[in-house]
A = this chain, B = another copy of it.
């Protein structure tokens, strides 16, 4: 059985939406799709808002009850019948996120055993045939095939294969 490693933030969990919600709450400004396109968080916001907003992912609660990316539960459930699925998420940058990420996965993806959750940093340690991730840098030392999941910050990156949504993951792997 081939193995797929799946990143969590911006692939399964909609961190961009959470960022936008918090930004609107704090500055009464709603980021448009155009303002987000091709940008990292720091370049989406006004320069004077940068200091506070860059701390969001380190704040307790940022990862709690994060919205689920459309299509991910259904497609991952189908993938899990044909592949061994591991969730490989870079939790070590944000230690306050551990328990929230764990609970989130148990709630939204109850069919994935907790033995298959991996909280890591460097993804070169992951042994899998495929890695679905929104950061090209995570493919650098990965020995399998990286599949780039589109997110506003990576639209200008060149990588093949790229998938724009979970329907495209299904088309590629099912």
Q: How many residues of A contact B (CB 8 A)?
A: 27
- The oligomer's copy count stands at 2
Measured between alpha carbons, how far is A3 from B141 in the docked complex, in Å?
Answer: 13
Across the A-B interface, give the 6 residue pairs with the lowest CB-CB distance, nearest first.
A115-B121, A98-B98, A127-B127, A119-B119, A92-B114, A115-B122
Query: Which B residues are CB-close (under 8 A) to A95?
Result: 98-99, 102
Residues in chain B near residue A86, CB distance under 8 A: 122, 125
Contact with B along A90-109 (1 / 0, CB 8 A): 01110100110010000000
**Assembled-state Cα–Cα distance A113/B99 (Å):** 21
Residue contact B121 to A5, C-beta cutoff 8 Å: no
Alpha-carbon distance A127/B127, docked complex (angstroms): 5
| Option from B91, B119, B127 in Cβ contact (under 8 Å) with A143 | B127
